[in-house]
Structure 1
Amino acid sequence: MGITLDLRNARAADVHVGRSALAELMSVLHILAEPDHHPEAQRWTRQLGTTFDDSLANEMSALSPLWARLRCRLLFPLALPLDQTFEEELRHLEKLPLDEFVDLCAQGVLGFREAVPPARLLLDDKEAARCYVTQCERRSFRRGALAHDLMASPEDVRARLIDFLDRCGGAFFAAEWRAVHDRLEAAVVRFRTEVTRKGLAEVLAGLSPTAVVAGDGSHVRYDKLAIAEIGIGPRQLFLLPSVHVWPHLTIKDERSYPVVLQFAAPEVRAPEQLTLRQLHARLSVLASPGRMELCRHLLGEPITTSELAKRLGLDDTQVSRTLRQLREAGLIESEREGRYVYHRLATSTLLRLGQDVLATIMR
């Protein structure tokens, strides 16, 4: 499974790197909607929650289908230029033709890669609208309620959404955007330079540890649940660095619009992002009762191979083999002191393992 970017026809003029305040706000709202999926941000989200009044919190919940899972294409840049102000992005949303708004919003409310009837059919055919609302209700009550509102009055939903986003700006996001603005500007400058210096395939592959370059540099594949091949050139690609998107790598592929790839700015990525192979190796190593028993002995003070063998009633060769497996998985640390090599459990790695599992699944 995965999403592949086909770069055979990509030109420098097709690739644009920039910031989007609205897309960054959506990343923040995504974390607030699914805090259990972002344990690294729990303290920050608790502090942020104190800035919401009941009205803002209730509307955040009601509109959350737009950013809780699939992330609505409506809230990413739809056209050039990038780096518009937050207010300019809201005005563009306000002026978007109603058919376009409904097309993008309806897919976002459903929050799943299933076919959604075009806006004109939804707005003109009551049976098509009813079936769409039922489709959303099967996913969740909240999605069904928002779908019903969208079919009843799309202009009202648009006005609610813009008002909510504007209120978020006043309540907390304007300050947050000022705090991250310069960091994102540095990331934009860096990636513009790297696309020119290194080439597009190498830069895109560096955005995720799951990325694989194939076809002599003409294709880059990301490990995602969706399966798709997306051509770049003449279709445009928007690269949007983000402070809050990690551990996700978000790729949006609505056919009538530029492809969007939102990625974590380098300085906010985790120090170590595991590949699926590395994660599988760590979990497999710990699945053995014998290796788990050995880990218990490594938890205290550093210990030599021969001492471990003596405690476990095994020969040195067996213990050395097990230690090598643990070391290759990054679960033990070994250090020579004089004549002996001492081993200890990498407790910080083990403590991170649960978060690593979640982050790898979520990418």
Structure 2
Amino acid sequence: MSTVIEITGLPPERIVFSPSPLAELSFALHALAQPGHHPGLHGWTSSTTAALKQDLADRLHEADFLWSPAFSDISMPFAALPHAQGHPGATLAEDLDLLDQLDDELFVAAALEISCSSIYSRGGPSPLVDAVAREQALERATARGPRQTEFAHRLLADPPGVRAWIRRLFEDCEQAFFADVWQRVQVQLAADARHKAELLRRKGLREALAEVSPALSLEGEYPGAGGPVRIVVDKLSSGRTTAVDPAIGPGLTLVPSTLGWPHLMVLHAPGWRPVIHYPLAATELAGPPSLELVRLRMEALAHPMRMRICRSVGRAAFTTGELAAECGISAPEASRHLAFLKKAGLVTTRRRGRYVLHQLDLTAVARLGSDFLEGVLR
């Protein structure tokens, strides 16, 4: 089984490598909703979930129809807009502006369809205007539970209102956690996109695809030597699309992600420019620690004051003096406890000007168990 993208006659300059803030936010929301899919992000998903305000957590739960367990194509609106020429926005606000440009019929069809559906590649009218498509969309929603059913009915009854609600939700996610995520990853994503584009220019599409993922292969000679050329994506699903549809304009976009592993997503809906959303590398937990390190960590956490310090530095970075005042102990005593926690690999230290700041290493703590992590962050 595979997904096939026909690219015969596609000019090389129409192949775009570019990061997308909205696509990366979609993967972030998927990881929060399905943390078991992303064991290497366990520390981040646990700490982010624990820090969410209840109102935002409730709204994310209500809308996870859009990113869990599969993905809605509304995360890549640039692919449905000919004037965008396959280029995502540079900021989340720009991506959301592109999303606002989708008409209601297209938006509703994309929101209520999922790429793993057997009818995904067929196209057809929007559930907003076609009774049969509407019934099918509601059946899929019903199969996923009453919350998804209610969301689907709301979207069909009031597309503008729900669209505005979704945009506010994405904007609130940016304020709550995604702005920090994007600040950390955007340079890496942009560098990867530039590298892949340069590889395409210098060595050709076959070499560029090989670096994107071993699941991608090129059949035929690109850019063309007489005969069909296509990209084959090795997936446990079947699909087919073209990158030379005159209705949307020729082009193929490849979007890197730091959060996506192990998923390799392919947008191949009719009437949309094909998009390959690929992970930069496998995000894996580190190898098992030594028994000595495990013993040190257990010993470190057996002391009630060190547990209290973990709770403090799990929420923010503190200087030694601040921790001493926070915990009601002397600075030398706080320093001794911090030294023990650092030796156990549970606390990291960084310098900011003349201040030395200490913070809990959430990835290391997550390896001890989600109950402990949730306990110190509760």
Using structure 1 for the length normalisation, give the TM-score: 0.67
- Over 3 Å counting, the alpha-carbon distance change for 1:88 and 1:62 in structure 2 is same
Distance in 2 (CA, whole Å) between partners of 1:214 and 1:96 is 33
- Could you say which residue in structure 2 is the equivalent of 1:61? 61
Distance in 2 (CA, whole Å) between partners of 1:52 and 1:182 is 26
Matched, 1:23 2:23: yes
**Counterparts of 1:43-192 in structure 2 under 5 Å?**
43-76=43-76, 77-78=78-79, 79=81, 80=84, 81-108=87-114, 112-114=117-119, 118-119=125-126, 122-124=127-129, 129-130=134-135, 132-192=137-197
Using structure 2 for the length normalisation, give the TM-score: 0.65
Matched, 1:237 2:222: no
Distance in 2 (CA, whole Å) between partners of 1:48 and 1:8 is 44
Distance in 1 (CA, whole Å) between partners of 2:240 and 2:107 is 25
Distance in 2 (CA, whole Å) between partners of 1:264 and 1:201 is 18
Would the aligned equivalents of 1:14 and 1:233 in 2 still touch at CA under 8 Å?
no
Gaps of 5+ in 2: 223-228, 285-378
Would the aligned equivalents of 2:20 and 2:90 in 1 still touch at CA under 8 Å?
yes
**Counterparts of 1:258-337 in structure 2 under 5 Å?**
258-265=273-280, 268-269=281-282
Deviation of the 1:124 alpha carbon: 4.6
Q: Which amino acid aligns with 1:87?
A: A
Deviation of the 1:170 alpha carbon: 0.4
Would the aligned equivalents of 2:241 and 2:270 in 1 still touch at CA under 8 Å?
no
Deviation of the 1:83 alpha carbon: 4.1
Distance in 2 (CA, whole Å) between partners of 1:131 and 1:204 is 36
CA displacement 1:257-276 (0-9 Å, x = unmatched): 211111112xx4359xxxxx
Consecutive aligned runs of 4 or more in structure 1 exceeding 4 Å deviation: 124-128
Distance in 2 (CA, whole Å) between partners of 1:123 and 1:222 is 31
CA displacement 1:155-203 (0-9 Å, x = unmatched): 2221111110000000000111111111111111101101111211331
Q: CA RMSD in A?
A: 2.3
| 2:270 maps to which of 252, 255, 269 | 255
- Over 3 Å counting, the alpha-carbon distance change for 1:111 and 1:91 in structure 2 is same
Deviation of the 1:102 alpha carbon: 1.4
Would the aligned equivalents of 2:116 and 2:237 in 1 still touch at CA under 8 Å?
no
**Corresponding residue SS for 1:123:** coil
Deviation of the 1:86 alpha carbon: 1.0
Q: Which amino acid aligns with 1:55?
A: D
CA displacement 1:31-77 (0-9 Å, x = unmatched): 11111121111111011113311111111111111111331111113
Would the aligned equivalents of 2:32 and 2:45 in 1 still touch at CA under 8 Å?
yes
- Over 3 Å counting, the alpha-carbon distance change for 1:180 and 1:131 in structure 2 is closer
Q: Which amino acid aligns with 1:209?
A: P
- Over 3 Å counting, the alpha-carbon distance change for 1:177 and 1:225 in structure 2 is same
Which has the larger displacement, 4-13 or 195-204? 4-13
Higher RCO structure (Cα 8 Å, ≥6 apart): 2
Distance in 2 (CA, whole Å) between partners of 1:227 and 1:251 is 11
Distance in 1 (CA, whole Å) between partners of 2:243 and 2:102 is 25
**Corresponding residue SS for 1:225:** coil
Would the aligned equivalents of 2:37 and 2:262 in 1 still touch at CA under 8 Å?
no
Deviation of the 1:90 alpha carbon: 1.4
CA displacement 1:264-306 (0-9 Å, x = unmatched): 12xx4359xxxxxxxxxxxxxxxxxxxxxxxxxxxxxxxxxxx
Matched, 1:193 2:198: yes
CA displacement 1:95-144 (0-9 Å, x = unmatched): 43212211211214x9623367622xx33566763553233202333332
Q: Which amino acid aligns with 1:154?
A: P
**Corresponding residue SS for 2:275:** strand
Would the aligned equivalents of 1:4 and 1:221 in 2 still touch at CA under 8 Å?
yes
Aligned length: 266
- Over 3 Å counting, the alpha-carbon distance change for 1:219 and 1:202 in structure 2 is farther
Q: Which amino acid aligns with 2:208?
A: V
Matched, 1:225 2:236: yes
- Could you say which residue in structure 1 is the equivalent of 2:311? none
Distance in 2 (CA, whole Å) between partners of 1:241 and 1:131 is 32
Q: Which amino acid aligns with 2:282?
A: R
- Percentage identity across aligned positions? 27
Q: Which amino acid aligns with 1:227?
A: S
- Over 3 Å counting, the alpha-carbon distance change for 1:15 and 1:73 in structure 2 is same
- Could you say which residue in structure 1 is the equivalent of 2:37? 37
Deviation of the 1:205 alpha carbon: 3.1
Q: Which amino acid aligns with 2:99?
A: L
Q: Which amino acid aligns with 1:106?
A: L
